[in-house]
């Protein structure tokens, strides 16, 4: 038993001695390397100073890491660019303007219709079309007072329905009024592609697109597949709607779509009896958000019983 203990103690001493020798050897090599670097001429030079010794090694390592990081970012950018679809203009359409919001129920479709009508009224020589890209909740058929199924042209393209001089296309023309659209993402993307590419728009100066609420697949698909002249963000004055409106604006900035400005809907309610005006949802929320984003507040619309649908 004593012999075993002595043997274990001897082995422990030998391990400690080896570890000490290794530490001394490492320290000796490190000291030797630092002396060599200190005695060598400078490696990195700038216009105002010369870096000597160990500092040059540190700067060399940092420079190498920066170059590696830039090269990695460039490779990642090239890889992502290969995966993105190439933008292809819609046949016959000169400019596309999207009307979007981060939240539903803020009057986005109403604003899109008014924008299309306003563009045509401002310059009757311009031709304007209206596309309803909200597959799950199409509103354009009701707002434009249109019903029926689109006919097919000789090229097997859908012919838009027209009212007030504006050709319109919507998923609401292809399904029953009360029929729910219960589709998965791939089917929705296929429907959006057909609404974009398989419609005979003729020659249009402007195509106003009523986007679905949110910042999901449909928004990305449209912004990545067709060139867009600009986006109009619609919001109501309350804080919750403004938060989502800001997310929508930031999404368009990320995909390099210029934000033309904000429209504040439901700004004020005017009593039909005494004409007293009440700011039910607040007054200047969209203006403050526009200042924060560095874009224009394009206008304010009021609540009116005559405008309700």
* Distance spanning both ends of the chain, measured CA to CA: 98
Residue 244 has pLDDT above 70, yes or no: yes
Mean pLDDT of the chain: 78
Q: Where are the domains of the chain?
A: 2-83, 93-307
| Topology classification of domain 93-307 | Rossmann fold (3.40.50)
Write down the pLDDT at residue 172: 87
Q: Name the pTM for this structure.
A: 0.67
Ramachandran quadrant class, 268 (left: phi over 0; alpha: psi -120 to 50; beta: rest): beta
- Angle among Cα 107, 200, 197 to the nearest 5 degrees reads 75
In the chain, what percentage of residues exceed pLDDT 70?
Answer: 71
pLDDT at 306: 59
- pLDDT band of residue 53 (cuts 50, 70, 90) is low
Which two tokens mark 295?
A: 């874009």
16 or 74, which is more confident: 74
Across 60-64, 140-144, 216-220, the highest mean pLDDT is recorded for: 140-144
How much is the pLDDT for 49?
45
Mean pLDDT across 118-144: 90
Q: Tell me the per-residue pLDDT of 136-166, one tens digit each, with 9 for 90 and over.
A: 888 899 999 998 888 998 888 999 999 999 9
Q: Tell me the per-residue pLDDT of 168-212, one tens digit each, with 9 for 90 and over.
A: 999 888 888 777 777 777 888 888 888 888 999 999 999 999 998
Contacts of 218 (CB under 8 A, 6+ apart): 133, 135, 188, 189, 192, 211, 212
CA 203 to chain CA mean position, Å: 29
Give the number of other CB atoms < 10 A from CB of residue 145.
Answer: 8
Ranges of H-type helices in the chain: 2-39, 53-83, 108-122, 140-143, 185-197, 217-225, 239-254, 285-293
């Amino acid at each position: 038993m004593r012999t075993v203990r002595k043997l274990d103690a001897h082995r422990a001493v030998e391990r400690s001695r080896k570890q000490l020798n290794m530490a001394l050897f490492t320290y000796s090599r490190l000291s030797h390397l630092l002396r060599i670097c200190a005695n060598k001429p400078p490696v990195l030079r700038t216009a105002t100073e010369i870096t000597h010794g160990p500092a040059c090694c540190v700067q060399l390592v940092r420079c190498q890491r920066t170059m590696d990081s830039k090269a990695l970012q460039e490779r990642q950018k090239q890889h992502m660019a290969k995966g993105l679809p190439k933008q292809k203009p819609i046949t016959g359409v000169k400019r596309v303007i999207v009307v979007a919001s981060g939240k539903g129920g803020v009057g986005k479709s109403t604003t899109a219709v008014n924008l299309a009508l306003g563009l045509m009224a401002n310059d009757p020589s311009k031709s304007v079309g209206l596309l309803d890209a909200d597959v799950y909740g199409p509103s354009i058929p009701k707002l434009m007072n249109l019903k029926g199924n689109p006919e097919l042209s000789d090229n097997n393209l859908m012919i838009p329905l027209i009212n007030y001089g504006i050709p319109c296309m919507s998923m609401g023309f292809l399904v029953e009024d009360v029929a729910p659209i219960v589709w998965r993402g791939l089917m929705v993307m296929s429907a959006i592609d057909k609404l974009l590419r398989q419609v005979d728009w003729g020659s249009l100066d402007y195509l106003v697109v009523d986007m679905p609420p949110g910042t999901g697949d449909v928004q990305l698909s449209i912004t990545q597949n067709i060139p867009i002249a600009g986006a109009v963000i619609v919001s109501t004055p309350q804080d919750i709607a403004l938060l989502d409106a800001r997310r929508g604006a930031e999404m368009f900035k990320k995909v390099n779509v210029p934000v033309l400005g904000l429209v504040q809907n439901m700004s004020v309610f005017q009593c039909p009896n005494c004409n007293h005006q009440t700011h039910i949802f607040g007054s200047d929320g969209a203006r403050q958000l526009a200042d924060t984003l560095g874009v224009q507040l394009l206008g304010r619309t009021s609540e009116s019983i005559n405008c309700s649908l």
